[in-house]
Structure 1
Amino acid sequence: MFKNYLKIAWRNLLKNKGYTVINIGGLALGMAVTLIIGLWIYDELAHNSYFKNKEKIAQVWQSQTFNGNVGTGPAIPLPLEPALRDGYSDNFKYLMMASWTQDSYIKYKENSISRPGNYMQPMAPEFLNLEIIKGEKNGLREINSIMLSASTADALFGKEDPIGKIVKISNQYDLNVTAVYKNIPFNNSFNDTDYIIPWDNYVANREWIKNSLENWGNNSFQLFVQLADNANMENVSNTIRNVKKDLNEDTAEFNPQIFLLPMEDWYLRSNFEQGKQVGGRIKYVWLFGIIGAFVLLLACINFMNLSTARSEKRAKEVGIRKSIGSQKGQLIYQFLSESFLVVLFAFFVALLIVLLSLNGFNELARKEIAFPWSSINFWIISLLFILFTSLLAGSYPALYLSSFKPVDVLKGTFKSGKYAGLPRKILVVLQFTVSVAFIIGTVIVMQQINHAKNRPIGYDREGLIQIPTWSADFEGKTDLMREQFISSGAAIAMATSSSPTTQIWSNRSGYTWEGKPDGFQEDFAWTEISPEYASTLDLKITQGRDFSKDMASDSLGILINETAVKYMGVENPVGMVIRDTDEEDPGPSRKIIGVVEDIIAQSPYEAVKQAWYVYDRHDNFSYYTLRLNPKQSAAKSIATIERIFKDNFPAIPFQYDFVDDKYAEKFAAEQRVGTLSGIFTALAILISCLGLFGLTSFVAEQRTKEIGVRKVLGASVFNVWNMLSKDFLKLVVISCFIAVPIAYYIMNGWLQEYPYRVILKWWIFALAMLGAMGVTVLTVSFQAIRAAKQNPVKSLRTE
């Protein structure tokens, strides 16, 4: 029986080739979008699935309160690790201290490369589930050892066996290669860990870390844990919540709350507001999941509309089948089999579209998604997907067509009825409501991105580059390098800083000043700079003056930004003395010498943080920042800078970044969302237009004789076009008025997440409405004008 259903279905598809192509094409596009989004969502949800004990792994985070505002993050003090190890050891299988991921120069013989990696405690290989290719898994037990990823080992040693070889890190100390591990997968929080060095080495070679062993106020470290087999994540998190506050009175005023952030939340749910978890990238998973569902729905609506619109042509078939004994259930199965056949063909076309577009999608979304050919689960889900889509697309036409009365049909008295077309109109309205809402949403996302991009950033990015200086070789050579870079004509200015221009690496508290309110809990971004910093970046001094090398007192000076002036509650800060309140080891008092305009160093969507820029007295810099000579090409200048760099630092690889490129990375996530949303919106509109095209074609075919009569009686092409177009245009106008308030409500809520946001303007909604109506007119006009230009004599002979 089923074979017979498929055979009849196949004949019907061949008989109506035009509608078959529209149906399969629309469904294929919808299914392709849904498949790609499904693969993307799976990749997002599978982040960190590489870890065998994912449900037991967590990172220690803390919340602190400054003047009523709660800040939350993964930075913790060094004494927390022994406190948890000694007081709560039954709850943990592993506690692992780690540095922040950082690039280091790794040299072997004459080969020197730069790679990101971490300093970690000896249990790291077990904790990270490293697959050892060569060497030993406990390769971090010796203080002067290093473990390398396979790609790093290949880059350094080529075909040589790396085990036992000595490499030099940042041209400072020698390490013995004890193991090579398989590259950690891309879809992983530790995928950029290309080397691991023992934590003890990190402590032994940095005096500031030794000084932090008992300092609860220095939140500069990371701590990862794996719970004991019988421990519960929530219970342990609640148990350790007040450990820092209980053990250290000095930081108790900030109400530090220690808790565990499970590994499953690192990637998707790591955003906090006022100490409460508020989501993260999971919002994009929901967003694209909803988009995928609606795009598939639009494609299914096309199938429903075209199937029911052709009901009169299938009416006789239904009447004859019922008169010779066919039951309603059998007819439903017949029409569902047609739906299944169309969806099956559409699925294979969708697979082809996915395969052709996957590389481009990966590049756009910054993913490494591979098509899961060998996954049984994928094919099972695909089969369920085909069946679900078949039911979704075919259920209404099947129920509608199987309900015809055979007596009325065979007598020739069957009429579709006054309201027979109402469901189709509702579905068209639904289609374009979704499409218009997509258009509005995409435009607002791009508006928000451009709004932040056009925000004044406080300095001139044009021709500004930064060079990392992660080696002791740079110490004492700043003036020499500046003189050589400038005298070569490649640069016109150079400065140094402890943080890159586009980031804040350090925050400080524990200071007082005249007029500071009692109980005020200060928190400042802290950057150490050379005296040339403001002039190199072209910062505007709004009060006081810049640093001067000629004034010895400036070595204890501070520049503050305008936000800091408001934050500190002072009007004339120049000349104000800032004192360190640390009773055990107080730093020197400093004097504010000037105020600079705010610089956007963090998110361009957030308010600028209060910042202090202090004179770098100890060569505590991490970057050279150079202003290229605007009178010659950037390529020529950079070639000259590279030559000078290699002459002075032959053992260090030359690296640089354009500051405007690094700044542009701040928009990357939103830019990708906007671009992908735009693509999916365009496909949604295309699918809707395919359905509209098919319906217009059918209406024109159905009214062929009427068109012929009207033309004979003198109707113009415009009259016929207006007759065929106005009903569809009315439906789209209705869609616009439904979509606008829905889109406004959703997008206004989305914008509330950004303190610095675009104001919704009427023209955004008007543009979307005009665009939808314009696309509708173009789609309908093709068939309407074609029908209007037909010879009326030929039209009148069609019946």
Structure 2
Amino acid sequence: MIKNYFKIAWRNLVKNKMHSFINIIGLSVGMAVAILIGLWVYDELSFNKNFDNYSNIAQVMQHQTFNGDVETQTSLPYLIGNELKGAYGNNFKYVTMCSWTDGHILTFGEKKITKSGNYFEPQVTDMLSLKMLKGTHAALQDNHAIILSASTAKALFGDADPINKQIKIDNKFNVTVTGIYEDLPYNSDFNNLTFIATWNLYIDNNLWQEKTTNPWRNNSFQCYVQIADNANMNQVSAKIKDSKLHRVKAADAAFKPVVFLHPMSRWHLYSGFKNGINTGGRIEFVWLFGIIGFFVLLLACINFMNLSTARSEKRAKEVGIRKAIGSVRSQLIAQFFSESLLVALFAFFLSLLLVQIAIPEFNEVANKKIGILWANPVFWVIGIFFSLFTGIIAGSYPALYLSSFNPVKVLKGTFRVGKLASVPRKVLVVLQFTVSVILIIGTIVVFRQIQFAKNRPVGYSRDGLIAINIVTEDVHKNFDAISNELKSSGAVTQLAESTSPATYVNEFDNGFEWRGKDPSLQGDFGVVWVSNDFGKTIGWQIKEGRDFSKDFKDSSAVIMNEAAVKFTGLKHPVGETLMEDGKPRKIVGVIKDMVMQSPYEPVSRTVFIMDPTTQPVVNIRINPAMSAHVALGKIESVFKKYNPAQPFDYKFIDEQYAHKFSDEERIGKLANFFAILAIFISCIGLFGMASFMAEQRIKEIGVRKVLGASVIGLWTLLSKDFVKLVIISLLIAIPTAYYFMHGWLQNYNFHTELSWWIFALTAAGAITVTLLTVSYQSIKAALANPVKSLKTE
């Protein structure tokens, strides 16, 4: 019996080739989208789960209160690790301090490579359950030890055994390779941790104790923990909340530091904090794309339902005859379900081909490294179940509807579908276009918001500006010589050193005082230490006073941005004294606000302090009269001459600034991709419906042509019903899209407006696409020879 069901189903598919093609293509595209989104969601939900101690690992973080606003930080004083070990040691299995994962130069003989790594305490190997390919988890016990990822060892040593080989970090520290660990997966927060050196080596060569009288104020380091096996994460977090407050001085206690644990299970999806509350993060995208995937698949199922029920009259006699010769309704339902299941299975295997083709581009847009889980039996079980489920959902309405026909009426010829029979189909078409229109409006708004932020004045010139991170002291020692050679070569107009590039501020300090300051006023200032020509190099705009100059003794001078001046309340800041941890600094100028942090947020109050010591960033303005390629070649040769220990690596500031929009652009591209597919699936459905309607009304069209109807008139007759449905969907979609996108824009302090033309353009586009989709069948029917369509009457 079952074999017979599928045999008849196959014959029906072959007989109605166009109908079958539209159904299979529509379903396969919908399934492909659902599979892609499913793989993306699986990757997001499995982030960091490669670590054996996943549920017990946490990052130590802190809340601090400034003028009533709570700010959350991952940076902490370096003494916090000892405090947790000493006062709360029973609650932890491991406590490990570390620096920040950043690029460093690894040198072996004449070979130099730049890799990202970090300085950790030895317990990190056990805490992160590193899979040691060579060496053991005790490989970091010696202060001058280093362990490398397999790819880093391969890049540095080739096929040679790296164990016990000596290498140099940043041309400063000699270390011995004591272990090789397996590369960490891409869907891990430690995926760029390609080497690990020891924390003791780091602090022994950076003596903060000698540089500061208040080490608990210096929030410049990270701390990770693994709680004890029998401990509860929330309870331990509550216990350590005052671990910093007990140690800071009275002035810093006013910031009410609260230390807490942020579990690894929440790092990736729940990284957002607002006013001290964990508000979410990427989990919103998981829900968003999960819902989009569901609706895109639903659109494909709707096409199947629509086309199957629309052809009901064609199969009415078949149902009548089957019932007349003894078929019961359950058998008819099984027959129609077998047809939908066959289509679903064909669509599933075709969708796998589409996914395999689309994955490289999808990974590029989504910044992922996902693939079809061919060897995973769970994937196939889910895939087949998913196909069967889709087939049942897609075929449910047609099966129940067709099997309900009265055989007597059908065989007498008195069966008529009636006006109400088309209502479900119309509702489904409206739903299809409602979803598609919402996606299109959302895509336009996202891209407009990105463009709005990109067009925001940044307060300096990005064109031809590059930044080079320096990890040796050679450049600073020879800075004047480098400057003279570069300028004389014509490749460079200006260059200067700083602690931060123009696109980022990596140091904040709340230890500033000024005349008339309200004792209750609290707040961090961004601090950038610069050399003389920094302002000329980046092209900042002086609003009051002057720039730093070699003509003055500016060793204690400071320049503030407008946001900093506004915060201090100084009416005439130039000439005033700004106290920095008790050290007086004269304000010599005020610059217009520069967008150095998020382009969507207000400009951070920032001070720029003249400092003649070594700075880690060299900012260079390329001569616009020379091509960038030629200029970079000359810059590289000079840097290799004076800084041979470091590979020449530079970043264009305009590219770095553009990178700040990567998340929003990724969302926009993915939404655009899904919107196009949603429209495509909807149009396939409309095309099939238009084809059927034209076929159904072929004799009516013939009669109308004989009576003098024009092609335009017939085209209008056949198209208007579909246009009405799209207009109804627009009336639903536009206010819905406005509500959600208006709420999304409120997440940004600087955002675009929801202009009326966005909705008008989308509406016009939807109607145009509808007309183009149905016009082919409408015009084809209108141009048909009426003699052929009426000859049987």
TM-score by length of 1: 0.98
Aligned-partner residue type, residue 706 of structure 1 = E
Q: In structure 2, give the amino acid aligned to 1:339.
A: S
Distance 1:367 1:546 in 2: 45
SS of aligned partner of 1:475: helix
The one-letter amino acid of 2:535's match is A
3-state SS of 1:419 partner = helix
CA distance in 1 between partners of 2:719 and 2:126 (Å)? 68
SS in structure 2 at match of 1:589: strand
**Residue matched to 2:344:** 343
Q: Retained in 1: the 8 A contact 2:474–2:642?
A: no
What SS class does the counterpart of residue 655 from structure 2 fall into? helix
TM superposition shift of 1:136: 3.2
Tell me the secondary structure at the aligned position of residue 77 of structure 1.
coil
Partner of 1:656 in structure 2?
650
| 1:198 aligned residue | 198
CA distance in 2, matches of 1:214, 1:233: 30
Is 2:100 the partner of 1:106?
Answer: no
Whether the 8 Å contact between 1:78 and 1:213 is mirrored in structure 2 is no
Matched, 1:176 2:176: yes
- CA 1:7–1:487: 2 relative to 1, 3 Å: same
Q: Which moved more, 1:467-476 or 1:491-500?
A: 467-476
Which residue pairs with 1:766 in the alignment?
760
- Say whether 1:490 aligns with 2:485: no
Structure 1 contact 705–798 (Cα < 8 Å) conserved:
no
Residue aligned with 2:171, SS = coil
**Structure 2 counterpart of 1:655, which letter?**
D
* Structure 1: distance between partners of 2:81 and 2:330: 69
Task: Tell me the alpha carbon deviations over residues 188-230 of structure 1, each in whole angstroms, 9 at most, x when there is no partner.
Answer: 1111111111100011001226656972111111110111111
- C-alpha displacement of 1:399: 1.1
Q: Is the 8 A contact 1:442 1:674 kept in 2?
A: yes
Contact 1:500 1:622 in 2 (8 A): no
Structure-2 residue corresponding to 1:187 = 187
The separation in 1 between residues aligned to 2:26 and 2:648, in whole angstroms, is 52
CA distance in 2 between partners of 1:2 and 1:74 (Å): 62
Alignment of 1:64-463 (within 5 A): 64-208=64-208, 211=211, 215-250=215-250, 251-463=252-464
Instruction: Please report how far the alpha carbon of residue 472 of structure 1 lies from its aligned counterpart in structure 2 after TM superposition.
Output: 2.3
Name the SS of the counterpart of 2:215 in structure 1.
coil
Q: Rate the CA distance shift 1:798–1:461 in 2: closer, same or farther, 3 A.
A: farther
Q: Could you tell me how far apart the structure 1 residues matched to 2:743 and 2:729 are?
A: 21
Asked whether 1:591 is paired with 2:586, we answer yes
How far residue 510 of structure 1 moved from its aligned partner, in angstroms, is: 1.4
Query: Helix, strand or coil: the match of 2:418?
Result: coil
- Distance 1:556-1:212 versus aligned 2 partners, 3 A rule: closer
Deviation digits for residues 725-766 of structure 1 (CA, Å, limit 9, x no counterpart): 000001001100100010011111111111111111111111
> How many Å apart are 1:233 and its aligned residue?
1.0
Q: Distance in 2 between matches of 1:4 and 1:564?
A: 80
Among 671, 684, 688, the residue aligned to 1:690: 684
- Asked if the contact 2:208–2:215 (Cα under 8 Å) also holds between the matched residues in 1, the reply is no
Alpha-carbon shift at residue 368 of structure 1 (Å):
0.9
How far 1:514 moved relative to its partner?
0.8
1:744-763 matches, within 5 Å, as 744-763=738-757
Relative to structure 1, the CA distance from residue 212 to residue 416 in structure 2 (aligned partners, 3 Å threshold; closer, same or farther) is farther
| Contact 1:110-1:651 at 8 Å conserved across structures | no
- On the 8 A contact 2:475/2:642 being kept in 1, the answer is no
- Partner of residue 603 from structure 1, selected from 595, 598, 603: 598
Q: Deviations over 1:276-297 (max 9, x none)?
A: 1111111111111111001000
Asked if structure 2 preserves the Cα contact closer than 8 Å seen for 1:183 and 1:194, the reply is yes
* TM, length-normalised to structure 2: 0.98
Cα distance in structure 2, aligned partners of 1:572 and 1:283: 46
* Aligned-partner Cα distance in 1 for 2:670–2:599: 21
| 1:559–1:596 Cα contact (<8 Å) kept | yes
Distance of 1:704 and 1:798 partners within structure 2: 12
- 1:170–1:472 CA contact under 8 A, matched in 2: no
TM-aligned CA deviation for residue 798 of structure 1: 5.5
Could you say which residue in structure 2 is the equivalent of 1:546?
A: 547
| 2-structure distance, mates of 1:551, 1:277 | 48
5+ residue gaps, structure 2, are none
The alignment yields a C-alpha RMSD, in angstroms, of 1.3
- Return the alpha-carbon distance in structure 2 between the equivalents of residues 209 and 625 of structure 1: 30
Q: Which runs of 5+ in 1 are unaligned?
A: none
Q: What is the deviation of 1:247?
A: 3.3
Please name the residue that 1:670 is paired with.
Answer: 664
- DSSP-derived class of the 1:54 partner: coil
Q: Deviations over 1:459-514 (max 9, x none)?
A: 11111111111112223222111111111111111011101221111001112101
Give matches, 1:455-604, under 5 Å.
455-552=456-553, 554-580=554-580, 582=581, 586=582, 588-604=583-599
Deviates more, 1:741-750 or 1:314-323: 314-323
SS of 1:116's equivalent in the other structure is strand
Shift of 1:632: 1.4
Contact 1:24/1:346 (8 A) holds in 2: yes
CA contact (8 A) 2:465 2:620 kept: yes
Look up the SS of the partner of 2:105 in the other structure. Answer: strand
Cα distance in structure 1, aligned partners of 2:533 and 2:90 = 54
Task: Give, in whole Å, the separation in 2 of the partners of 1:252 and 1:214.
Answer: 13
Do 1:446 and 1:674's aligned partners in 2 also have CA atoms closer than 8 Å? yes
CA contact (8 A) 1:693 1:779 kept: yes
Secondary structure, aligned partner of 2:60: strand
Share of identical aligned residues, percent? 53
The CA deviation at 1:603 is 1.0
Structure 1 residue identity aligned to 2:546? R
Q: Which whole-Å CA distance do the structure 2 matches of 1:212 and 1:100 have between them?
A: 20
The CA deviation at 1:655 is 0.5
Are the counterparts in 2 of residues 79 and 213 from structure 1 also a CA contact under 8 Å? no
Q: Is the 8 A contact 1:320 1:410 kept in 2?
A: yes
Q: Distance in 1 between matches of 2:290 and 2:13?
A: 31
- Provide the rounded CA distance (Å) in 1 between the counterparts of 2:603 and 2:714: 61
**1:598, CA displacement in angstroms?**
1.0
Amino acid across the alignment from 1:650: P
Farther-moved stretch of structure 1 (719-728 vs 4-13): 4-13
1:249 shift after superposition: 4.1
Write the deviation string for residues 310-341 of structure 1: whole angstroms up to 9, x where unpaired.
Answer: 01011111111122222222211111111100
Q: For structure 1, which segment, 267-276 or 571-580, has the greater mean C-alpha deviation from structure 2 after superposition?
A: 571-580
CA distance in 1, matches of 2:668, 2:129: 36
Partner of 1:60: 60
Distance (Å, rounded) in 1 between the aligned partners of 2:4 and 2:501: 71
- Which of 630, 633, 638 is the matching residue for 2:627? 633
Q: Secondary structure at the match of 2:254?
A: helix
**Does the CA-based 8 Å contact 1:561-1:612 persist in structure 2?**
yes
Inter-CA distance 519–218: structure 2 relative to 1 (3 Å threshold): same
Residues 53 and 128, structure 2, Cα contact 8 Å, conserved in 1: no
SS at structure 1 position matched to 2:300: helix
Indicate how the Cα distance of structure 1 residues 50 and 213 shifts in structure 2: closer, same or farther if over 3 A, else same.
farther
3-state SS, counterpart of residue 76 of structure 1: coil
